[in-house]
Structure formats: structure tokens, C-alpha cells
């Protein structure tokens, strides 16, 4: 990583600002980066004992660097997935991410811009995602201004540090694709930097296969983008299967792969994964119950069995509150189809409304 102008900045850091040089040396530390890459692979594969071994190295070499707290926060996020407010792991996750952006801000004040901007952006983005997933979007609003400012800086810094390709590619894509899909939001975006949909996709593909920190996040979003905006379920399945193959221990990737198989109407393959999910934790048993309902309804043409499974899935979803809304939407729309076929318009309409309230993704309703 180098700061513009490259040679001058590095020279000044080395000669006159040793503290700044110490803070900025992480990305030039090939040994540390190698261990971090391995550790993150362990995190994403739910191999937390192995992942935690890297913390010893980070606390020794980079005790006050945002990478150390961000890495810990990432462990809490996946170890307790789905991490929910006031549930195990949530307090620790929030603490580590907040510490990350505070440390990142300190780096920026020392003029270590690239690492400071990147880790502040990532830590705040994870917190925003956490709030949104748990129905607490109002708590995320205070982060938006800083995130947008950091994204704009990311565009200027991405040639020096390719990890920015993920967030700038994401911005480029969603800045154009989102208002096209939801025109009501166009006026609100008029003052924001314009994007480039195709360029954004390319940047995300590059991030998925060429970055160290953000390759997994980029791959996840590529799957989501292809199913939600590009109407390309084959590609959505390809990326989901890739993640599940690379990280078979990750239960979220397992469930997304299963979901994409169902969307692609590969019911026999999906059933194998559904059965496997039933052996996991209670959250995934809830998901697999609803997925089995989809399999019975669409793969086996058994609406009565599907209805029972949808209803059971909704009961199993209750402990997870809004965190389970996405899965509940599949059950609600399945029940809406069931009662439509039974010519019970009132129940069909009620379940449809519940589905719309639970999820805005159009593919859920197909």
C-alpha cells in the first residue's frame, strides 16, 4: 500500500514519522498478511480455534492497529451467526468493530490514509449490515455520512490498494442498479456520485478473485446481485456453490447454496442439502424446514405437506424475530399460494402482505 504521491510519502514516513511508518507497515508485512489470509479462511470455514491462533501474532505485532480488533470482530460475527442484539457474541462484536473504526481514525490523523480509510469503512459497514439484518436500520443512519465519505476516498485510493475494489465496485453497481429497480428512490440519489453498472460488476469480479480481505464478501454479493438485479439464477448458483465448496463448514454459505438450488429448480440436489441442514443448529433447522416446504410444493406437488412445513417453519422462526424475516417471507408467500389455490382470498391476501413486509426481493415471490 502506498500513499499519493507514492515515493515521496513513503520516504517522508520512513525518515521523519516513524510512528506513521509503524502503523502503515501491515500491508507490506508479507508474513503477517499470509497469516491473516489463512486466518480469514479459517473464520469463513467456521474453524475458529485455528482462526484465533492468528490473534496472538496480531496482538504482538499490531496491538493498536484496527486489523486486530476488526479480525476479532469478524470472528464474533461468524462464530455466533446469526449475531443478534443482546444475544451471545453481539456485545463483543459491536465493541471490536467500534474499536476498529476508532483506531482507524487515529491512523488517518497520523496521515496513514489508506489503511485508516479502509478499516474504518469496513468496520462501519459491518455494523450497518448487522443493524439492518436485525431490523434496527435507524441505528445505522449515523454511520452513512462517514461511510459515503470513505467510499469517495476509496475511489481515489483503489489503484494503490486493491481491497477497495469491493466497496467501490459495490457502489458503482448499486448506484445505478438500485434506482433502476426501485425508481421511487431516484430523486434521493441525485446528489450522489454517479456509478457504472457494468464496471461495478467487473470490479466485484476482480475483488472476488484478486483481493485478500474482501474476496469472500465480493463473491457473496455477486451471487445476490445476479439473482436480485441481473435475473441470472445460473450465475447466482455458480457463486453460491463456489463459496460452499471453498468453505463447506460455513452454515450461511450452505443455506444460500441450498436456496439457489431451489430457485434454479434443481430439487433433487436441493433435497440433499436440505437434509444436511437439518443436522445443523436450530437457526438452520428453521431454514431447512421452510426450504423443505418449497421442495414439497414445487418439486413434489404436495401442497398439503408444504403447508404444514411452512407453518412449522414460522413457529421455529419466532425466537429469531426480524433476523428471520427473509426466510419467513418464503413461508408466507408459499402459504399465500396455497390459499389462493383453495380460493380463500382473504387468507391468501393476508399472507401475501406479510411476505411483502418481510422481504422486498422479487425472486422470493416467484
Task: Quote the pTM value.
Answer: 0.90
Q: Are 62 and 52 in contact (CB under 8 A)?
A: no
pLDDT digits (tens, 9 = 90+) for 32-47: 999 999 999 999 999 9
Of 121, 104, 224, 193, nearest to 163 (Cα)? Answer: 121
d(CA 116, CA 110) in angstroms, rounded, equals 9
Q: With helix as H, strand as E and coil as C, how does 31-69 read? A: HHHHHHHHHHHHHHCCCHHHHHHHHHHHHHHCCCCHHHH
- Residue in 251, 250, 274 with CA at minimum distance from that of residue 261: 274
Domains in the chain, start-ordered, CATH in brackets? 16-136 (1.25.40), 162-231 (no CATH), 233-366 (1.25.40.10)
Confidence band (pLDDT; 50, 70, 90) for 13?
A: very low
pLDDT at 226 over 50: yes
Q: Do the beta carbons of residue 121 and residue 128 sit within 8 Å?
A: no
Residue 24 has pLDDT above 60, yes or no: no
Name the DSSP class of 3.
P
8 Å CB contact between 175 and 189:
yes
Distance of CA 103 to the CA centre of its chain: 23
For 186, 207, 328, 350, the CA distances from 290, given in Å and listed in that order, are 35, 33, 8, 19
pLDDT band with cut points at 50, 70 and 90 for residue 15: very low
User: Dihedral through CA 14, CA 18, CA 24, CA 29, nearest 10?
Assistant: 70
Instruction: Let me know: does 321 contact 134? Beta carbons within 8 Å.
Output: yes
Mean pLDDT of 352-360: 94
Total H helices, total E strands in the chain:
18, 0
Reported as type and span, the H/E element at residue 327 is helix 325-341
Amino acid at each position: 500500500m502506498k500513499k499519493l504521491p507514492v515515493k515521496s510519502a513513503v520516504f517522508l514516513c520512513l525518515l521523519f514519522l516513524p510512528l506513521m511508518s509503524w502503523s502503515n507497515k501491515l500491508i507490506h508485512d508479507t508474513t503477517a498478511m499470509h497469516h491473516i489470509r489463512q486466518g480469514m479462511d479459517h473464520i469463513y470455514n467456521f474453524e475458529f480455534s485455528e482462526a484465533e491462533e492468528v490473534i496472538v501474532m496480531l496482538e504482538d505485532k499490531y496491538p493498536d492497529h484496527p486489523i486486530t480488533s476488526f479480525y476479532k470482530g469478524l470472528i464474533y460475527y461468524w462464530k455466533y451467526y446469526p449475531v443478534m442484539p443482546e444475544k451471545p457474541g453481539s456485545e463483543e462484536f459491536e465493541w471490536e468493530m467500534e474499536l476498529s473504526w476508532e483506531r482507524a481514525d487515529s491512523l488517518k490523523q497520523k496521515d496513514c490514509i489508506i489503511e485508516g480509510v479502509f478499516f474504518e469503512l469496513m468496520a462501519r459497514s459491518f455494523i450497518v449490515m448487522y443493524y439492518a439484518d436485525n431490523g434496527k436500520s435507524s441505528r445505522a443512519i449515523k454511520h452513512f455520512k462517514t461511510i459515503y465519505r470513505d467510499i469517495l476516498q476509496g475511489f481515489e485510493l483503489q489503484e494503490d490498494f486493491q481491497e477497495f475494489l469491493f466497496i467501490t465496485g459495490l457502489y458503482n453497481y448499486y448506484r445505478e442498479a438500485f434506482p433502476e429497480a426501485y425508481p421511487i428512490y431516484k430523486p434521493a440519489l441525485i446528489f450522489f456520485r454517479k456509478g457504472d453498472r457494468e464496471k461495478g460488476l467487473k470490479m466485484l469480479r476482480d475483488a472476488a478473485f484478486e483481493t485478500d480481505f474482501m474476496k469472500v464478501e465480493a463473491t457473496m454479493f455477486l451471487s445476490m446481485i445476479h439473482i436480485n438485479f441481473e435475473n441470472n439464477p445460473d450465475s447466482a448458483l455458480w457463486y453460491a456453490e463456489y463459496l460452499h465448496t471453498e468453505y463447506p463448514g460455513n452454515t450461511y454459505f450452505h443455506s444460500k447454496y441450498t436456496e439457489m438450488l431451489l430457485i434454479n429448480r434443481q430439487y433433487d440436489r436441493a433435497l440433499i442439502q436440505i437434509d444436511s441442514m437439518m443436522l445443523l443448529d436450530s437457526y438452520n433447522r428453521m431454514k431447512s424446514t421452510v426450504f423443505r416446504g418449497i421442495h414439497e410444493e414445487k418439486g413434489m406437488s404436495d401442497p398439503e405437506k408444504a403447508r404444514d412445513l411452512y407453518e412449522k417453519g414460522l413457529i421455529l422462526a419466532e425466537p429469531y424475530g426480524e433476523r428471520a424475516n427473509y426466510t419467513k417471507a418464503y413461508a408466507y408467500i408459499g402459504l399465500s399460494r396455497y390459499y389462493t389455490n383453495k380460493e380463500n382470498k382473504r387468507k391468501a391476501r393476508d399472507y401475501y402482505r406479510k411476505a411483502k413486509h418481510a422481504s422486498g426481493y422479487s425472486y422470493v415471490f416467484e
